Structure formats: C-alpha cells, structure tokens
Amino acid sequence: MKVEKKIKIAIDGPAASGKSTTAREVARRLGYTYIDSGAMYRAVTLKALRENVPVTDEKQVSRLAKQIDIRFGKSDRKTVIFMDGEDVSDAIRTPEIDKNISPVAANPGVRKILVQKQQALGRAGGVVMDGRDIGTVVFPDAELKIYLVASVEERARRRLKELQEKGQSLPLEEVIEDLRYRDARDMGREVGPLKKADDAVEIDTTHLSIPEQVDKIVRLAREKIQDP
C-alpha cells in the first residue's frame, strides 16, 4: 500500500488577505496540522503589553519570546491559541495588538526564536503554515508556496467585519490607514520582510470567497502530493 506523501504548505501575504482562514480550512481538508505563525508574534506582543515591556525594547521582548509557552488547540474548527496555559485567541486579535505588533515582528531576536519553534513544528511535513516569511525564511523548502494578495480596501472591510463581530468598531478609513502602515513596516523590515517567494503561486483574493481560495490551494496541493 502506497503511503501518501506529506508536504509542507507555506501561505504568505499581507494582513487580512485571507491567510489564516484559508490556511486553517486547507489543513482541515487535507488532514494536516495548521500552524498560525502570526498568532505566535501576537502572543509575544500581548505578553509584552501586559508586563509593561516596551514593544520596541528588543532585548526585553526577545527574553519574553524565549520564556513564553505557546500551544495550539482546536474547537469547532476554530484554532485556539494558548499563551502560558491561557486561551488568548480573542485577546491577541484586537486593534491594540494590531498597532503594536510590527516592532515585535521585526525584532531579530524574537524572529530567530519563533522561527526555530515553527521549523520544529513542521519538520515532519503534513503542515500548513501562514505568515509573512514562511516561504522565504521558515520553510524555503516547502513543496507548495502560496502568496495571497487583495486590495487594501477589501482587506480593510474584512478586518472591520472581524472587529464588529467581536463588538469592536473603527472608521473604515482608519482601518485602511492601519493596514497601509503595517504593509509598509512588514515589507520594509530588515529581518524576514514580507515578500513573495520566487516559486510561490500568487492568488488575488479580492473577488474570491474563502471556499474558492481553499479549492484552488487544495487542488495545487494534491498535484504536489501525487508527484512521484
């Protein structure tokens, strides 16, 4: 009996391009493990804010990243993020975290620590991981690399909908400006910048539904899995 090959799938793209929702569903469809790399940086950001450590203090935030215990769980198709044993799934997805995460994500010490943890999680294959530098830094050997894009206006609408579902709200223009700021920071940082891997497949999600995005990626994944 032939054993099905387990591959690594890297999904990159800017904020609110649909990475997490799509990656989670792709993993479910393939029976793979989903690893939300962005949630790991968000957890470190939350810990820094709670402990009154300036997010720009590279040494102190790196110390927190080394100490923090981050685990993933599942509940009704939702990925649950535990930070030091506490469910912080909602706490890490607030406007406050959005505004403070860039210096943490750009911190060389933090990135080195978290990249090592991510690589350990995905070493055996059978994983789907999303983020900003998965295909270029974390899994440059991934068999399938996807780069999702969407217009900033559409991404802002998606982010605003997420906030409203949690009882929060901001003017749409403010959300657009926040995303533009994050894009510039993510693309311009020296360590692990957001960029498309040379061998990544780009998918514009502006006019695609989540099921359509998932179908495209699952089809590409099955082609890779079936390759001899």
Tokens of 97: 């975290």
For 8-222, CATH gives 3.40.50.300
Q: Check whether 145 has a pLDDT greater than 90.
A: yes
C-alpha of 44 from chain center: 14
Neighbours of 187 (CB within 10 A): 12
Q: Answer yes or no: is pLDDT of 89 > 80.
A: yes
**Strands of the sheet with 86-87, listed across from one edge:** 70-75, 78-83, 86-87
| 193 contacts: CB under 8 Å, gap ≥ 6 | 132, 133, 186, 187
Over residues 180-201, the mean pLDDT reads 91
pLDDT given for residue 3 in this prediction: 62
Question: Among residues of the chain, what percentage have pLDDT more than 70?
Answer: 96
Residue 38: pLDDT band with limits 50, 70, 90: confident
Q: Residue ranges per domain, the chain?
A: 8-222
Q: What percent of the chain has pLDDT over 90?
A: 70
Q: What is the pLDDT of residue 73?
A: 78
Instruction: Please compute the mean of the pLDDT values over residues 20-39 and round it to a whole number.
Output: 91
Query: Tokens 């054993």 appear where?
Result: 3
Please give the model's pTM, rounded to 2 decimal places.
Answer: 0.82
**What is the C-alpha separation between 154 and 157, in angstroms, rounded?**
5
